[in-house]
Structure 1
Amino acid sequence: MSRNLLFVVFSLLAASFAVASCQQSESKSIRQEYAEQFEKSIQSNILSKWYPAAYDLEDGGYISAFEYDFTPSERQNKMIVSQARHLWTTSKAAADYPSVSHYREGADHGFAFIRDKFWDTEFGGFHTLLTKEGEVISSGPDAKTAYGNAFGIYGLAAYYAVSKNEEALDLAKKAFMWLEEHSYDPQYGGYFQNLAVDGTPLQRNSETPSTSTIGYKDQNSSIHLLEAFTELYHVWQDPLLKQRLEELLEIIRDKIVQPEGYLQLFLYPDFTPVSFRDSSDSMIEQHHAIDHVSYGHDVETAYLMMEASEALGRAHDEKTWSVGKKMVDHALKYGWDNEKGGFYDGGYYFKGESEPRVVKDTKNWWTQAEGLNTLLIMADIYPEDPWDYFSKFELQWDYIDNYLIDHEHGEWFAGGIDKQPHYKTSQKGHIWKTAYHNYRSMANSVKRLKSKS
């Protein structure tokens, strides 16, 4: 090879390395910029709006409901799910921002209310719904649920991690064993959702309406039990807990996720899908809450499965990663707004059709939060994938910033105002809407962005 040719080759290689180095530096800079934006938004639009405003210094626990301008609402019932989510959020915030003392104080405050008011000292388990003062008002098929008890465990485990309060860990263990005794299905595995006050699973019979979910197993309680057991396993490496965590991960991944790449919402005890696909359009619409494709749950579950696998010490769990990727890809292909960003609320596989149709094109807040976190995870695991997950992550953040964050009054609207502008004046908080989804998503994203910036 001639000296001139060698010079050309070395020059090209040097230029290539320079471009790659520049691109890598630019990528790190972009990630750092997003991390800074998210940190600012967490402080100004999430945590500072909720806390200390949500601490109920009169009756204990947390104030549940706030209007669009963050003035407290008139009705203030308290649900185990939202109270435990507040406990989880304040506990995580106390760990992330230890210089802000009231986060830890708020977590102490929330724990005391859950311990003293929500736990049933007669039959065990957490009640579902209380008055503001702490009187039990839950009854019927939602008197106690696996879902509600899962969040009780979730909040208590996070609180124990930051406080080392043994009372909290003991109560989380009691709740886990109560579910084991009453909700767990020893025949097929998994958990029954609807429980009587004494913990007896509620059964379907000939008089049960077709629109009722009593007696079914479901993806929603399953994925949040997975989430709760993952959080608990971080602080309590119990062999039975590990076994149930492994079982749940495999049940969700291998039975509840359908071959196309979406979660079946409800299932019979043996995990046969509850489907109305062979019914009329009106019947399908009537049973939408029981049978549709929920893109938000799909992208959230992709993350929760990976989180559980990591907690179990499964390094490079290709099977779980591939199923999670399939779920995200399915959601991007069929339930994603390519123009503005954002995942739609619902799709449906109609009989004879190989692809789902969007049947609900609204974009609720929690789906967009979960999507942001999961897209960034996908971008880091599969940086060269044709879906270009990082560009989807960027578009998702643009959507959230433009259509979900209330830059005037703070926090996030309940749904994207491109589709539902009335949310501009709707409640910012209620028993189903707290800071848990958006804080977790953005805090996780900040850590991930910084780790590679």
Structure 2
Amino acid sequence: MNEEVLSKELNNILDYWSNIVYDKQRKLFFGRIDNSGNAYPEAPLGAVLYARILWSFSAGYAYTKKPIYKERALQAYKVIEDGFFDKEAGGIYWSILPNGEPLQTRKQIYAQAFVIYALAELYKIEPRQKVINEAFALVDLIEEYSYDIEEGGYLEALSQNWQPIKDMRLSDKDINAIKTMNTHLHILEAYTNLYAIKKDKKVGGCIKKLLDIFTTKIICSESKHLQLFFTKNWKSLSSIQSYGHDIEASWLLMKAAELVYGKGIPQHLIEACNALALITVHGLLSDGSLANEKENDKINKERHCWVQAEAMVGFHYMGLRTKNRQYFQFADRIWNYVNKEIRDPDKGEWFWGRDENGNLLQNEDKVGMWKCPYHNSRACLEILQNQIKVN
């Protein structure tokens, strides 16, 4: 894996979304394309999907300077601005119909965070005051309605009018928990991206509090991996170890810490990030890929695309910072697996993944609420921007 290979793959991913996923007649991105390449024009549009599209094209343009990527970023932004923003109660709807009509109007904090993340990236290539104002307005809403003053951390979801709701799940696969690791991780990611362009004191303070929450509440003190679901007072509700999230958190926490602390990163934070990377190594399989997760002593050996992408960038990132060359070798083997088994050489983009026997997961979509150009394009960009080369 080298700069030429990663640059080509980045362009392959973004070109697929620009040419195949973008519907030029309706001026929006399809909400669903199945594994066989069939588009579903009436499929709902998800806030997370559109935020990730906006981020990917904004970041892709910043690196490649290809005009079409900026054009696609602005087109994604227009759909978010026109359809996803709640003009009355504020915040972002979870989903809308292709005609712009709100569908699921609850305020999932995960979605608010991803739109902040995307708006900050858009501002880097299109520095409109309106864009940055919208990002900070979402920060204010999260801090006002989601932050738990009593126990710390953030509540998972609220109603359209920012009131408590019973079902807070991010997806049908999740536990109905009032607090989750995943939402906290992506609030941290969003705030980090915003702080990188505007050194806002409030946002910087929130990042430091989030880093403290990870080291004192979310990372298990015994096993050193992430706990995923919690009660309001931080009692863990799950024993699942998610290898993809462990390696993703290792580099996202380190990146946030480097931004807000500079060279004075607390030692316990460095140790926590190193431990997350080390614990992920136990999920590596003989073919070089990273397993999905582990519950008790049973490893789920499905190979999901986003897990491979996070392992690529995570092992590279931590290899650079620990000077451990073995991490680079892990990342290189994962890319070789992706290139052989996950990339779709015929229709483009990446398949969702393969099962334990190596068969494609046929029932998973190529484009959907959770299948976006985010993990894979971000992996390429982060490695390219860090100029880490492994031969």
Q: Does 1:269 align with 2:258?
A: no
Q: Does 1:364 align with 2:294?
A: no
Match of 1:216 among 172, 178, 181: 178
Alpha-carbon displacement from aligned partner over 1:405-441 (angstroms, at most 9, x marks no partner): 1122211110136645233685311111011100000
Q: Report what 1:115 is aligned to.
A: 81
Equivalent residue runs for 1:386-397 within 5 Å:
388-397=326-335
Q: Which has the larger radius of gyration?
A: 1
Supply the distance in 1 between the matched residues of 2:142 and 2:28 (Cα, whole angstroms): 24
Query: Partner letter of residue 281 of structure 2?
Result: L
Preserved contact between residue 61 and residue 111 of structure 1 (Cα < 8 Å): no
Where structure 1 has 5 or more consecutive residues not aligned to the other structure, the ranges are 1-32, 205-210, 276-290, 350-356
Preserved contact between residue 183 and residue 201 of structure 1 (Cα < 8 Å): no
Q: Report what 2:260 is aligned to.
A: 312
The alpha carbon displacement at 1:359 in A equals 3.8
Where structure 2 has 5 or more consecutive residues not aligned to the other structure, the ranges are 168-172
Preserved contact between residue 195 and residue 201 of structure 1 (Cα < 8 Å): yes
Alpha-carbon displacement from aligned partner over 1:115-156 (angstroms, at most 9, x marks no partner): 1211111111100011111111115xxx22110111111111
Which sits farther off after the overlay, 308-317 or 366-375?
Answer: 308-317
Q: Does 1:167 align with 2:130?
A: yes
Supply the distance in 1 between the matched residues of 2:11 and 2:246 (Cα, whole angstroms): 28
Q: Does 1:250 align with 2:212?
A: yes
TM-score, normalised to structure 1, is 0.80
Preserved contact between residue 151 and residue 224 of structure 1 (Cα < 8 Å): yes
Q: Report what 1:236 is aligned to.
A: 198
Which sits farther off after the overlay, 318-327 or 180-189?
Answer: 318-327
% identical equivalent positions: 26
The alpha carbon displacement at 1:59 in A equals 4.2
The alpha carbon displacement at 1:76 in A equals 2.2
Preserved contact between residue 328 and residue 390 of structure 2 (Cα < 8 Å): no
Match of 2:353 among 409, 415, 419: 415
Other structure's SS at 2:294 match: strand
Q: Does 1:328 align with 2:277?
A: yes
Q: Report what 1:131 is aligned to.
A: 97
Supply the distance in 1 between the matched residues of 2:363 and 2:161 (Cα, whole angstroms): 41
Match of 1:227 among 167, 189, 203: 189
Preserved contact between residue 329 and residue 390 of structure 2 (Cα < 8 Å): no
Preserved contact between residue 30 and residue 43 of structure 2 (Cα < 8 Å): yes
The alpha carbon displacement at 1:389 in A equals 1.3
Q: Say what the alpha-carbon RMSD is for the aligned residues.
A: 2.2
Q: Does 1:340 align with 2:340?
A: no
TM-score, normalised to structure 2, is 0.92
Other structure's SS at 2:348 match: coil
Q: Report what 2:165 is aligned to.
A: 202
Preserved contact between residue 251 and residue 318 of structure 2 (Cα < 8 Å): no
Match of 1:87 among 36, 54, 61: 54
Match of 1:68 among 25, 35, 44: 35
Q: Does 1:429 align with 2:347?
A: no
Supply the distance in 1 between the matched residues of 2:120 and 2:78 (Cα, whole angstroms): 14
Change (3 A) 1:254 1:102: same
Q: Does 1:303 align with 2:261?
A: no
Other structure's SS at 2:241 match: coil
Which sits farther off after the overlay, 256-265 or 67-76?
Answer: 67-76
Supply the distance in 2 between the matched residues of 1:313 and 1:57 (Cα, whole angstroms): 45
Supply the distance in 2 between the matched residues of 1:131 and 1:440 (Cα, whole angstroms): 27
Preserved contact between residue 336 and residue 342 of structure 1 (Cα < 8 Å): yes
